A and B are shown apart, each in its own frame.
Chain A
Amino acid sequence: MNNYYIEKRLKTEKIKYILVLATLLTTLVIVGLVSVCMGAMDIEVSDVFKVIIGKIFGAEPDVAENILSVIWNIRFPRIICSCFIGMGLAVSGAIFQSILQNPLADPYTIGISTGASFGASAAITVNLIFGVYFPTVSAALIGAFITLFIVILIARKGRSFDSSNIVIAGIIVSSILSSGVGFMKILAGENVGAIVFWIMGSLSAKGWNDVIIVVPICIILTIASVFFAKQLDIMALGDETAGSLGVNVNRARFLYLTAGSVITAVCVSVCGVIGFVGLIVPHLIRFWVTARNRALIPLSALFGALLLMTADTFACLFSWGDIPVVILTTLIGGPFFIFIFVRKRRGR
């Protein structure tokens, strides 16, 4: 009877995975379409399809010039950015939780976001003071990568690459950089708002040049993580067990740390620090479906995309004072997470 039971359960798990995947994918497409149509200017769904088909086949779409411009130059890049940034943050959250063997880890644990904030704040301050134009996205990317490099340098101890060392190094570097950001805010004087809003994170005014930075990196690194997902599972059992199962823990941790950090760096550089997605999305998927990374990563990717896209749509709709999307992700996501968490604990 037990024999039959295990096979049946494996089959049920597989069906559940496919159903959740299909549901998330469908919802994502629907929310995406709704999101394109909604905003300051109402747009017909048929116009959206006309633009998509026209762009795919290279024909001039039969849509008014201003509507075409709004759909193609404003809403599409914003929605695609929100989708892939949500995906990237959720995937890197799942990666960081596994490699640091810590369910409380998120993409910002090792200070990549503070590094990016520091870079961006420095660029904003320099631009203000000297009246030059240094692009904030590039500065944020540089800041994020330098931070990663320093954290790795501090955390490495000979050949070993211990998870708690990475967390400690991250916290130290992050604190120092936060002070730096604080200093920059003072230097910026009455223009401090520019820095504050950048750090809070926003998806407004994203263009195709942002899409080009975010999309390829998120897609490539997510696919790579799914391919090596079994290693991530095994690393969650602890370094020694993982080593005895044939995983070169130090190398794997270094590679995943870099992959997760690159995804985070790109996302943060483009849209600022959007918190919470990277922490809760992998948890929810673990609660609902499975902890196995082979399934967890693709589902987290889709759910992260959905969460951020929905939050951003709401941010657009109710933007009396252009509410930063991070406030909404936390406002919607936080109570929802508490609800799921409490229900799960009571159920146990």
Chain B
Amino acid sequence: MWRIISFISGLAVIVVLLFRYRITMRTTIDLTSKVAVIGLWRAGMQNLTALSRDALTLAFKMLWHNQPRLLLTVLGVGVAFFLAAAQFGLLVGWTNTNSALIRHANVDLWVMAEQTPAFDYGTAIPRQRIHQALSVPGVEWAEGLFMGWEIWQRGDGRRVNVELVGLDKSNVGGPWAMRDGKLGCVHVAHQVIVDELYLGPLGVKQVGENFEMIGERTVVGGISQGVRTFTASPFIFTSIEQAIRIDKRYHAEEITYALVRCAPGADVAAVQQEMRKRIAHVEVLTSNEFAVRSAKYWMLETGVGITVVITAVLGLGVGVVITSQTLFAITQDHLPNYATLLALGFRRSSLVVMVLVQSLTLGVCGVVAGSALFFSAVLASARTPIPLETTPLVYAGLVAVSLLSCLVASVMSLRSIFKIDPVSVFRL
């Protein structure tokens, strides 16, 4: 049994390492890791006895014997894996999207009105909070940020809901990559920045075009890259002063968030605690806490996340059913051969290894096929408003769950193996 476990562990390590190469898209090959993979494989193979190697050979040849069925099964498992990976990819992409501005602001603490559910739903707090934050020991820098829902009027008269973000002097909280123009243009009268992903919906063709927001003239001063919105309302960036002038619901001395950076070496948690004590009627969250809160709001409270997870689980379920059915059919087809092997003195454990190896092989091939589809989709969606993304942890988890599902799918086949009576070889 330990041989089986060591073989499966070896396979898992190889899959993880292969994944590492894939996910980081490295162009240079890490020779050390490559040697480690080969070493692991060789060590694993040396641990296997000749009989186990025969069981592996028999398992692979048995699968290869019916190539059309093998191909269809791998495609089936691959599509199921792709379905699950794509759903989790959407989840990760959306989670990244709805916390992107928070993460890219690169500040330590966010001061906001109490019970702010997500970045997109901040409400007004006095600008004075910035000065109160600056008075807390350990704080090095603090500025404001405006966030409000407005209406953008296109040249053809159509109106589009947008999220207007007003930047303070340092432009913190603004776009992190510019295609055209400069970030500082937001401080020029009437100028705003729009993102290239939403030029179509906003009716923008180039920098310098004029539009209207709540009756106020706006000029496109720059075009950013990769600033997605989760709410389908594009982000528009300008200065705080111009944002308040457009919004009209905020007073001149109001902001939505106070962004805080601590001095180097300062204990952020201690600063956060002190700030909570000193500033009344606000919440003080770290960037990570605020990002998690925003993600939780959109993913859990709106039901979007649950729907996506259910679809992903269904995808994995489809994979289990496909693998299970095919493996069972293969096992049933080969029952006479299994009976012959038993009659010739093969151990039943060798037959079990064969079924498990077949199951894992289908799983690994399916995962590889599904991964090819998934990473193609990731590349294709990289510059669209709805990106598919993943993290090493999520992807490794998906691979592990998929392979585990394939092993679960072999249960029915294993039952058949345990029921084989070698005497039946005389009745064939």
Decide whether A and B assemble into one complex.
no
B residues engaging A (CB < 8 A)?
Answer: none
A residues engaging B (CB < 8 A)?
Answer: none
